[in-house]
Amino acid sequence: MEMVRLAVAGLPAGGMYALAALGIVLIYRATGTINFAQGAVATASAFVFDLAWTEHDLPVLVAALAALAVAFAFGLALERLARAIGHGNVLAQVIATLGVQGVILAGCERIFGQEARVVPTYFPSGSINVAGVFISYDQLAVIVAAAALSATVGLALTRTGLGTSVRAVSQNRLAASLAGLPVQRIEGISWAAGTVLAGLAGILLAPLLFLDTYRLSVFFLVKPLAAAVVGGLVSLPLAFGAGITIGVAEGVLSRYTALPGLTETVPFVMMLAALLVRRSFRSELSPAPLSKNPAIRPGTGRFWPGVTALCAMVAVVPALSPAQTVTLRLTISFTLLALSLVVLTGWVGQVSLAQGAFFGLGAFMAATLGNRAGLPFGVVLVAAPVCVVPFAVIVGLPAVRFRGLLLAVVTLAFGSLCSASLFEWKTFTGGLDGSHLPSPSLFGVDLSGDRYTFVCLAVGGLVFAGARNLARFRCGGPLFGVRESEDGAQALGIGVTATKLIAFGISGAIAGLGGTLFGYTTGFVSGAQFTPVLSATIFAVTVVAGVESLWGAVLAGAIFTVPSGETVQLLASIAVIVVLVFLPGGLTEARRRFIRPAIRRRGADVVSAGETPVERQDEVVMAPAPR
Amino acid sequence: MIRRPLLDVSDVVVRYGPVVAVDGATLSVGDGELVALIGPNGAGKTSLFNAIAGVLRPEEGSVRLDGEPLDGLPPHIRARRGLARTFQGGRLFSRMTLRENLEVAHYERGRSGLASGCLGGPLARRDRHRDRRLAGSVLEAMDLADFADLPCASLPFGMQRRAEVARALCLEPRILLLDEPSAGLDPAESAALAATIVRLRDTTGLAVLLIEHDMTFVMNISDYIYVLDFGVSLAEGTPQQVRSDPAVVAAYLGVDVVA
């Protein structure tokens, strides 16, 4: 009986996951893009609703309409953004939705403040008794609304002309436009409908939850995404069923309170199971690389700028104020975090939204090994990153079968699992109290103060040089080959599976090393520092700085460390979007355009030769033909 | 003449659900031989090719390279054993330069590992030197030296086909599998490529198995031809024999042999 009660208690949440999942599926079906801002839109709607209803005493319906209008506006804005980036560049579109998420969340914090709010319920209190299980009216309303809305969306897609058009656009955009369908309008409608569904989920569930910007946005993103993935991102009934199942399973598991975050494993496990059972996904799930420009091989640049920069840093350290010293150390930690993405995403083409979790794992491993196990700093510096490697390899396993967006979703789910479960585990992380790290020392030599900054610089420099060698020397070839064409790499004897897993391992170790340095810098780590939002933000920032370049990682580390406060975050998120629209290859590619234009020019000559009159084309083609 | 088979494919069966794509195909390629596998559209050529390369697993039959069975091995292991292939659609690393493409192809022939690469050790430097030297000589041999430092995406189509053959050669293979190398080429380019393939075989003694849709391309250059139709071996022999085989003529021209 207890089980049934808990299961029923999970139903409303399940209904909301299902609604938000329908929104994701709708947008994906029409446009081939996953909207990572879905959770943020739901959160914003809930806040607007709360503002209008509780603070301004507007009627419930008016407040709800106002909140939905906001969600609708976000949908239209997202559609314009996706159009500006261009159809076909799905990965950039997805990162842009991450940027929009950043804008919405920072905006919410700025407007509504950081404290969690409680929204009073707008349904009459009371409950009905179904065979001994009491269901309150608001729970019932949420369940009924979810079922009714899902049925409506399902019917609209299959039974109306508009629904048929949406399906046509999703199956073949070009053919749909050739058949005279207003493709852009249909995509716009899908975006708006998708975000309105998220908004509805936010409003309906608001009275059952605390309003807390970051928790809520993750809550409304990861679980609906998991449900959508179970439905293969295309099936509405499956996504709906999966959403409900996740809610119910969470309800049932919530009785086992001894294991923190056990409920949070549900979406991740369901998603993984679905991915392993399912045979194939639509081809858009392996999107084209961000940049189509010729890749300049990383590490082929000159060596002295790096050495000069490092020497300059070393020289400057004694003159820095304590606050500036901390900033420098943090910059190095976050540079390593960004560098882990350069290796994994920039070089091998595997999207990961779990890097923040690896970073956090590194920090907690350092705390565990350095504080509780009492190992010396030198050992921890090596052992903590090594301990992260197995986690990274396991997260990389789905990459063996799935690429691109799907991998982004799986890694996001892993990151959220870590932050909700592993990082809350008291024996490992100290739970809410966090963990302390000792002051670093090596062979009896105290390494606090400037000495620790030198250690950070040395470690950062070594990793930079190692990664540079990795790209420069032979091993870079297989990495880039796997990014460019898996079939091609395989035909050359390169083990694609092994390459990907090794890349995940290396990347996890680098991120873990960054986390270790971070831990010793702050001396205190707690789970709240390593949320999925950290992963999403560092991903967006690294892409903007230049995800294929080591200097991009340095730039990303600096960009990521310096801003603090919502205003700066807001501006940074806007910058992400602007850069994606105008410079898809990131800031470092812009630098290359001006500093090393020779390769581009020579490349352009041949391309234009292919397009100009036939005589010239023949000339180019025939010139080197054998006698 | 007893041909010593380098590549030996026997009784391979490939099914897609109820459809039988290849129904017991058998062929062999000897050392230094240039063998063609031809057949009309949908004859099962590419399926057989993929079964040899290890991309798909045949239901029955076996593939041997120099007497050693390759069955069950993944494509990259077959490639390391000396089975190089090209793709019909082309699978060049399009954002990398041609030279880089060729150097990557030689990666698995080196002995330095990850650690040596990260440290830039002497072993990695020696291997890199070898990669570059081989890539340079293959570029010369394939008349691609002028294009070496261009990104592959910007090469004209004909050059890309040629580049793909060059990249396969950098694997230092024992046998080269070419999947419709002349597809999409104009007659002049196609003839040039045919000449290059013959020259390669003559100078290096490399065995070549090529799949072709286009009869004229293979007739002049092949030592031996297998004809596949509806997944079944229709005929085999020298170009002369195949050309005059009535069943082959019927399959290609759609004429009923009896009538």
Report whether B252 contacts B40 (CB < 8 A).
yes
Determine, for residues B105 and A475 on separate chains, whether the beta-carbon distance falls below 8 Å. Answer: no
Judge whether A2-285 and A325-594 match in fold: yes
H or E stretch at B36 = strand B34-38
Which of the pair, A344 or A171, is modelled with greater confidence? Answer: A344
Which residues of chain B fall below pLDDT 70? Answer: 1-4, 253-259
Q: Do A475 and B114 touch (CB under 8 A)?
A: yes
Give a yes or no: residue B222 inside a domain: yes
A565 token code pair: 């406060």
Is the domain of B76 the same as that of B189? yes
pLDDT, tens digit (0-9, with 9 covering 90-100), for A396-417:
887 777 776 778 888 888 888 8
**Is the residue at B87 inside a domain?**
no
The answer on pLDDT for A460 being more than 90 is yes
The CA distance from A293 to the nearest CA of chain B, in Å, is 7
User: What single-letter DSSP state applies at residue B97?
Assistant: B
**Does one domain contain both B154 and B125?**
yes
- Please tell me which residue of chain B has the smallest CA distance to A607: B154
What mean pLDDT do residues A336-354 have?
Answer: 90
pLDDT of residue A540: 84
Q: In what order do the strands lie in the sheet with B60-65?
A: B19-30, B5-16, B60-65, B68-69
A117 confidence band (pLDDT: 50, 70, 90):
confident
Residues B195 and B130 in one domain: no
Each residue's pLDDT tens digit, A579-613: 878 776 667 666 655 555 444 444 444 444 333 33
Q: Same domain for B183 and B164?
A: no
CA dist B38 → A107, A623, B10, B219, B227 (Å): 65, 30, 17, 10, 5
- Angle, helices A183-205 vs A213-230, to 10°: value is 120
Q: Among A297, A474, A623, whose Cβ lies nearest the Cβ of B112?
A: A474
CATH (domain of B67): 3.40.50.300
Residues A305-332 have a mean pLDDT of 87
Residue among B104, B156, B171 minimizing CB distance to A620: B156
pLDDT of A512: 95
- Say how many CA atoms lie within 13 Å of B62 toward its Cβ: 8
Q: Do B203 and B251 belong together in one domain?
A: yes
Chain B nearest-CA residue for A608: B154
How large is the angle between the packed helices A597-611 and A587-595, nearest 10 degrees? 80
Residues in A closer than 8 angstroms to B156, CB to CB, are 606, 609-610, 617, 620-621
Q: With respect to residue B150, please indicate whether it lies within any of the assigned structural domains.
A: yes
Supply the pLDDT for residue A69: 94
Chain B stretch 6-65, residues whose beta carbon is closer than 8 A to a beta carbon of chain A: 53, 55
Please determine, for residue A615, whether its predicted confidence score (pLDDT) is greater than 60. Answer: no
pLDDT of residue A332: 93
Ranges A12-21, A208-217, A346-355, A552-561: which has the least confidence = A208-217
Dihedral angle sign, alpha carbons of residues B12, B210, B164, A470: positive
Does B131 contact chain A (CB < 8 Å)?
yes
Q: What's the total number of domains in chain B?
A: 2
Residues of A in contact with B128 (CB under 8 A): 473-474
CB contact under 8 A, B76 and A607: no
B-chain residues within 8 Å CB-CB of A292?
95, 153
Residue A294: what pLDDT?
62
Task: Please judge whether B117 and A297 are an interchain contact, meaning their C-beta atoms are less than 8 angstroms apart.
Answer: no
**Higher-pLDDT residue of A588, A357:** A357
Residues B7 and B132 in one domain: no
Cβ of B87 and A609 within 8 Å?
A: no
Q: What is the mean pLDDT of residues A448-470?
A: 88
Q: Does A242 or A89 have the greater pLDDT score?
A: A242
**Domain shared by B164 and B207, yes or no:** no
* A contacts of B104 (beta carbons < 8 Å): 477-478, 480-481, 489, 492, 494
Q: For residue A109, give both structure tokens.
A: 């914090």
Task: Work out the minimum CA distance from A491 to partner chain B, whole angstroms.
Answer: 6
pLDDT band at A627 (very low <50, low <70, confident <90, very high): very low
Domain identity same for B13 and B76: yes
Phi first, then psi, for residue A373 (nearest 5°) are -85, -15
pLDDT score of A288 = 52
Least reliable range by pLDDT among A75-89, A352-366, A413-427, A477-491: A413-427
Is the CATH number of domain A325-594 2.60.40?
no
| Boundary of a domain, candidates B152, B172, B192 | B172
Q: Are residues B201 and B215 in the same domain?
A: yes
B136 and B60 within one domain: no
Q: Do B118 and A475 touch (CB under 8 A)?
A: yes
Choice among A122-131, A281-290, A357-366, A583-592 with the minimum mean pLDDT: A281-290
Strand, helix or coil for residue B43: coil
B181 in the same domain as B77: yes
- Residue B79 to residue A490, Cβ atoms within 8 A: yes
| Residues whose CB falls within 8 Å of the CB of residue A289, separated by 6 or more in sequence, listed in order | A91, A349, A483, A484, B95
So what's the pLDDT on residue B207? 92
| A525, pLDDT greater than 90 | no
CA-based radius of gyration for chain A: 25
pLDDT at A459 > cutoff 90: yes
Q: Is the minimum CB–CB distance between B120 and chain A shorter than 8 Å?
A: yes
Residue of A279, A292, A485, A492 to mutate, testing the B interface (most B Cβ within 10 Å of its Cβ): A492
Specify the pLDDT at position A299: 66
Which residues does A101 contact at the CB level (< 8 Å), separation at least 6?
Answer: A36, A37, A39, A40, A217, A221, A536, A573
- The residue from B108, B140, B172 where one domain ends is B172
Which of B107, B169, B170, B197 is the best mutation test for A, with the most CBs of A within 10 A? B107
Closest alpha carbon to A45 in A28, A26, A23, A25: A23
Cα-Cα-Cα-Cα torsion A60, A66, A69, A74, nearest 10 degrees, comes to -110
- Residues B229 and B186 both lie in one domain: yes
Residues A256-269 have pLDDT tens digits of 766 667 777 888 88
Per-residue confidence (pLDDT) for residue A387, from 0 to 100: 93
Average pLDDT value over all residues in chain A: 81
- Is the pLDDT at A431 greater than 90, yes or no? no
Residue B55 is assigned to a structural domain of this protein: yes
Asked if the structure places residue B229 within a domain, the reply is yes
Locate the domains of chain A by residue range: 2-285, 325-594, 596-627
Chain A window 314-333: which residues touch B at a Cβ cutoff of 8 Å?
Answer: none
The answer to pTM > 0.90 is no
- Rounded to 5 degrees, φ, ψ at A387 are -65, -25
pLDDT value for A610: 38
CATH of domain A2-285: 1.10.3470
- How far is B42 from chain A, CA to nearest CA, in Å? 22
CB contact under 8 A, A489 and B104: yes
Provide the residue range defining the domain that includes B159: 92-172
Q: Which residues are CB-neighbours of B235 under 8 A, at least 6 positions away?
A: B226, B227, B241, B242, B245, B247, B248
Which chain B residues contact residue A346 at CB under 8 A?
none
The amino acid that residue B203 corresponds to is T
